[in-house]
Structure 1
Amino acid sequence: MTNIVVKEDVNLPALPSTVLPALTELTNALGIPRDVLASQEEIEYAWRDLPRELREIPEDLRGELVARMCVAVSTGLFDGAMNYIWNAAILQLRQKIRNFGLAVVAQIQQSDFEENKLLELQDNRLLDLCLKLNIVDEDGFFFLDQCREVRNNFSAAHPTMGKVNDREFTTFLNRCVRYALADSSSPRGVDIGAYISAVKGARFNDHQCQIWIQRLMETHDAQRQMLVNMVHGVYCDPATAEPARLNALDLCSGLSDNFTASLKSDLINSHSEYVAKGLEDKHTASLQFFEKLGLLGLLNESEQHVVFSRAIDRLWNVHNGMNNFYNEPPFAERLLEVSQQGAMPETIQDNFVQTVVSCRIGNGYGVSNAAVTYYNDIIRGFSPREVATMVRAAIDRNSKIGRRVASVGSCKRNLKTALELIDPASIPNAVKADYDRLIR
């Protein structure tokens, strides 16, 4: 159930009746034109718009600087008000970096990053770091960087190039609130050293695995992408111990539903590098990684062909080996799993259909009863093209299926049962007559 955050309106008092006349009296006393300060209309409009922006700021962040901003607005000192709200935004961005973890930032920066380094960062460098840590997104970075320029040139922080009016101030305020102050939460970084140490350590228990998955979910997309790519490398390294490989798989399995397009692209690029560099051991392990996570559909057809071909050949070898009725089920189950990850490449479809159907109809000694469920599920999922291949092979005495159907009565009966698993709507017109004859 989604929690709905109810934002309470901020009710500011009406402007004191003495404030605006006092501005006129002050400029008269100093002998300067009234228009060097914000006009009465600008002050009234800015004050009217304040509550709408203030209600977006969490109550715990409406502190001293926000109060000073309001006082500055009430007297038309928009340049001072901008400086106050900008400082509030910068303080909050620093706090978000602390929440992320200074030690983690140091790992990412590959240099020391203590509290004093954070405090010494100039505003532009702070925004760069927030973007890198995904504390602000690209839109937020763009608008906050604009605010930084406006603050430097038009606020009370420095000699100004000119004045801002109420609408310009309200836009400035809106951006500081929206991209820095509105959300008091922030992603927490993952300690990379502890993460890799844990993955390469003893086999995860369920609780330990869930803690690491949660930490990865709570960090930002960019770091999660980097950390998943790192454990893909751990999995594919031939020197990695089996517990570490299983830990890597467990983490990625728990996250795979949330893999972004960018993360998937990173994994494919790493996989392709193994191929390009001729690292056969890593390439083979990487194929297994994609298979285990149900991501074979991300690979190109030739890569998928390799995985499917191996699964098909292993099933066929077991089917023709000793004790095949006892040994077939796990190989049939594996072929079912990989076949559900995407369309079978055309280059392997014929071998796929011939092998599955031959195993399903059995031989003169019968079928592997424990594997029948897996074969049935595969046949139900046949594409129209694969259905056509099955029907044509059944009437071709030179095919694997045809030879068995022609010579063994039980195989013929089992074929009819297998054909009845297929929805009649999936039967291509080109083989409809042969299909009807086979099931009669």
Structure 2
Amino acid sequence: MTNDVTLWKKTDEVIIPKQTNNVSQIVNLGVQLSQKDQRQIIRSFEDGSYEMVATFIWTKAINSLRNQLSKMGISFIAEMLDRPDISEHTNVQQAISDFEAIRLAEELGVISGTAAFRLKQAMELVTHFNQPELEDSPENELSDDETKTIIRTCVQSILIYDKVEAAINFKNFRNELEELTLNEDSPIIIKLVQNPYFFQRTTIRILMLLVKTKLGAQLENALANANLIIPQLWPNLKHPERYQVGRTYSELFSDGKSKAANGLRGVLLKVKGFDFVPEDLRSSSFIKVANDILSAHNGMNNFYNEPAPVNTLLRMGSVIPSPAFQVCVTAVLCVRLGNSYGVSNAAQDGANAILKNITTDRWIYFFNECIQSNEILLYKLMQYRPTSIWLTVFASKFLGRISSELKNKDIINLVKFTNEKKIDRINNLADAMYQKLGYANS
């Protein structure tokens, strides 16, 4: 197995030549599209039915991506996305948002970072132009160039491949964690701390899944590897990942899986991590609603669908449990910041009320422990319009008050540029932080 970040890179990439700009030529390269689909796309594009074409090919592409991801197992998908609300009975096509599918596919090496970046841009275009409340005017219609971009992105990133699957090296890595007991001299252990953060986060999630689902020798290997790997990663792990380890221990203990629970208990004792074990399952309810908000935000008709889950979260109480805090605040900030095309006006009062209930010390925690590894918010802050709204979320006095409590240089600069209303500097900083996590920006 390789011991480098290339572990995650797709190697069988097929490239559409730059000079290929004819829609018929591009669509004909989509081997996952039937002849009927291809004819319908080409005919509708030539007729100027751009919204219909974009929605059709986007749905084909993203559903194909979700379908391939689901073959890795529902429990694996739930663990990777940190979605305890997803079970074996869940319909993956409905439960996993487009954004989650793209993010997970990138982390698993199913698609490249560049493909993921372009797919996110295509997703925003398709979502925006499907808003039912858009006024019927030429300004609110997809152009032929925008539609071509969506078609090219969907074909190049997904539909050009007969089967989209994770890189074989990723599968080997997962197998090693359950089939072998690694040691400190193993190449992957040596490189693990140096690898991008999403690699480390993925490793933690794989280990937690193995500990929860395996028996016998495979469980023993997973526990031994967890005892080796987690202490090495723990000093640099952000609180959301630490809470995932604590929550897994709590679930194992509650389910009476004593061998697995005792093994993970040893890990938590080694890293002094029992502060991250939830005392009850109240946090799961908050996490579910937060994921409902994110699903609405990243789905079709998001401006219409966001208010209901936001108001549900507001009614659940002003104190968000610590294990659920990161995902809840992320979800609410996504609604507050909106996307490149605007915000859900009907959801703003609820979102503002939730944010107003957050105390200063919890905001300090969020800046110190959550934003640096939060690819969702960093992606928002790479865009002009969401960033312009970000400048209105925090008062100048508040930003000045928390500055001295911040630890990371990038976060200190983020607060500084926010206070100074420097949108371009925030965009560039978020871009750099996003790449530090291991994601591509173009």
TM class by smaller structure = 0.3 to 0.5
Q: Which has the higher contact order (CA 8 A, sep 6+)?
A: 2
After TM superposition, the score normalised by the length of structure 2 is: 0.33
TM-score, normalising length: structure 1: 0.33
